[in-house]
Amino acid sequence: MPEYLAPGVFIEETSFRQKSIEGVGTSVAALVGPTRCGPLRGTPEALTSFAEFERVYGDASDLTLRGTAELNFTSHAARAFFDNGGKQLFVARVVQGVNSTNADGSGGSAIAASVADAAANVTFKARSPGTQGNYTLEIVWRDGENLLKSEQPKVAAADKFYYLEASGVGEAAKVTGAIAADRFPVDLQAIVRLDGNHLRIDAARAVITSKADPANPAAVGANQITVLDPSKLPANARLARFYARQPTSGGLSNGTAAVLTLKKPADLSAFTKGDHWGNLLVLRGTLDATGEVLTIKADAHLNPGVAADLTLPLAALASVPDAASAVVALRNFDLEVRNGGPEGEVIYVYGNVSTSPDGDRSLARVLPQTPQRKQEALISPLACTLKAGVTGAQVLAALYSLFDGPALSPGVNSLQDPRYLIKLGGGSDGGVPAAIDYAGESDEVKGSTGLAALEAVEDVSIVMVPAAAAHAETHSAVLMEMLKHCRRMRYRVGIVDSREGMSLGEVRSFRNDFDDSRLALYHPWVVISDPTGQRREITVPPAGFLAGVYARTDVDRGVHKAPANEVVLGALRFEQDINQFQQELLNPNGINCLRSFAGRGHRVWGGRTLASDPEWKYLNVRRYFLYLERSIEKSTQWAVFEPNGEALWANIRSTVADFLFNEWKNGRLLGGAPKDAYFVRCDRSTMTQNDLDNGRLVCVVGVAPLRPAEFVIFRIGQKTADA
């Protein structure tokens, strides 16, 4: 109670109205089953479109379980859910042995695809196990900082061609030669080769200009400086690898046609004694048989600006210069992740990645094994690890060793440009998940799995496991786990699929395994066009379609409306054509049929549960009561620990009565007046003194639900004209 200890004016806020109840959502669905990729542990994230499903859990291509290809029923169910009006979907991926997996998904029967070079300097690995992880990676080089663009190696030694450029080389760079100290600093451009631990510049192959007198730059003889110590070169010295490649246009006949693409205007006057070609970016010519001499023809079309024939000797290094790694140009590239082969769809792009192992955009930092953001962990398909102490040159060499040879060298007569492709392999979907895999386990450290992972998502009201229907040996056991989950979570219903090709007798026998108002069985399967394009048509379980119909009906009409007599969007037809006489055998057993009607399309023609209790015969009544119970429970939490007396009882009565009056006013309850539709009692008649002594408040609520007009009967008789 407030204390008033000194004179003054006191303002206090109070409420003179009862609390209100807000209706909960009933259209959020959960889907459990195997997928092509995606996380195996942790609380699932809400998906609002099939495109989001594909980004996280892969496409609809077939799965390979136990070495046998089978339809990706989980993906097809997700597509059907959204196509039929679903808005929110939570997906729990399962594989055989999912409860034995680690936080990164390893340890189960499914295996993550990977690839590594021979020294394991660079290792690419799919972020989650599955066959979709057999990606093809394509590197698109960003060579803005290299003078010569890396293209196609023409000869075996082509990967050993280097071009050295340094600006302002200090006097400490001089190792041998008769260059005086006052002739430094110099600009250096040269074709070089490795000589022990040094870079040797061959005579007549260098452009060395003294900058000691900027007004009168003097050429330095190439024979005056023959060796550079890489450790003493300035930081802006760069060693750029380049390749020769076949040009896209013809016109050259002598030797092997080749193109050198320069990323900035080049000064080659030292080779021709001619003018400075400030606009020269591309040289088109021919390589000799050794691949070490490029002959450039003076051709206005091929080499504009070249006034005379030019011969460029290309010195081949003995090996990759590890000792000169400090001056190897760090190369940046975009990494495209393609689904499947080289022509597959690009599903993700990592931009501006560097070969530097320590840079901000290194492979290890752009593709970390454990991303800091959960969204990145969900949609980023790839992880990369670098061996400790690896250098930039080793990273570059490792990447080149992983490139697909035929794509890198399409051939002399090919019009295809070289492609830098890396293929991951070894990914598998594992075996068929068992009932224990669908049930999952609760693990607060590594993350929960299966149905147990959905216990942390309170909004779910519809649960389905369509992929289980493809395996007769485990189907019933998986459905039992789904039923236990629905009863444990209390406010959820499960959709049961019959198995493909079941006869009427088989589906009736299958129905006898269940007796619960939280389950609804549908038969037969649905025939749809194959979204993957591999086949013309496929047959899939109906659960995904029905979950979408539930959601659509709840939004358009309300949860009190039976999700029946609704069109199944996406259905070409049903696996079996059920007629009225056949349904007369199935409907009394609580088996909801999917039927096709002339002029009315393909519809859901049943709305019963699998309960033997006639009070809970109809699915909409069961779901409507779950909606009422959940809404009242969630919106009356404020009453806990309030003084249990007349004031609280009156407030509770008013709160619940106002909520039910709104339901009746909206046509969701049966009765011509509120007193006929519902009642609310919370007083001494509902509670004993023992209840009060033990802190129990008991409120009794009764409602008259609307049951569906399952049988519409018109009685027609004859009358006389004068009656």
Q: What pLDDT, in 10s, does the model give residues 290-324?
A: 555 667 777 766 666 666 776 665 433 222 232 22
Query: Would you give the distance in Å from CA 252 to the centre of its chain?
Result: 48
Strands 227-228 and 218-219: unpaired
Q: What is the pLDDT of residue 232?
A: 52
> Can you give the pTM of this predicted structure?
0.76
Pick the closest to residue 446 from 39, 113, 58, 95 (CA basis).
39
Q: How far is CA 242 from CA 163, 250, 262, 263, 500, in A?
A: 7, 22, 9, 11, 59
User: Is the model more confident about 344 or about 224?
Assistant: 344
- Rounded Cα distance between 213 and 209, Å, is 10
Domains (range + CATH), the chain: 1-21+641-723 (no CATH), 29-107+431-616 (3.40.50.11780), 114-142+330-423 (no CATH), 156-324 (no CATH)
pLDDT band at 15 (very low <50, low <70, confident <90, very high): confident
Q: Which of 420, 359, 371, 363 is nearest to 387 (CA)?
A: 363
Planar angle of CA 197, 200, 205, nearest 5 degrees: 160
pLDDT tens digits for 631-650? 999 999 999 999 999 999 99
Query: Tell me, what's the pLDDT at 710?
Result: 79
Amino acid at 248: T
DSSP 581: H
Q: Is 451 exposed, middle or buried (0-12, 13-18, 19+ CB in 10 A)?
A: buried
pLDDT greater at residue 720 or residue 588: 588
Q: Does the structure show a pLDDT above 60 at 187? A: no
Is it the case that residue 188 has pLDDT exceeding 70?
no
Kindly report the backbone phi and psi dihedral angles of residue 19, in degrees, each rounded to the nearest multiple of 5, phi listed first: -70, 160
Between 669 and 358, whose confidence is greater? 669
- pLDDT at 304 (0 to 100): 61
Q: Output b/e per residue, 178-191; b: 16+ Cβ within 10 A.
A: ebeeebbbbbbbbb
Give the number of other CB atoms < 10 A from CB of residue 466: 28
In the chain, pLDDT over 70 holds for what percent of residues? 73
Cα distance from N-terminal residue to C-terminal residue, the chain: 78
Q: Name the residue with higher pLDDT: 691 or 230.
A: 691
What is the phi-psi region of residue 88: left when phi exceeds 0, alpha when psi lies from -120 to 50, beta otherwise?
Answer: beta
Q: What is the pLDDT of residue 667?
A: 94
Per-residue pLDDT, averaged over 27-55, amounts to 95
**pLDDT band for position 197 (50/70/90)?**
very low
Residue 585 confidence (pLDDT): 95
**Which whole number is the average pLDDT over 547-575?**
96
Residue 355: per-residue pLDDT: 83
| pLDDT band at 4; cut points 50, 70, 90 | confident
Calculate mean pLDDT across residues 368-397.
Answer: 88
pLDDT band of 209, cuts 50, 70, 90? low
Confidence band (pLDDT; 50, 70, 90) for 157?
Answer: very low
Res 693 pLDDT > 60: yes
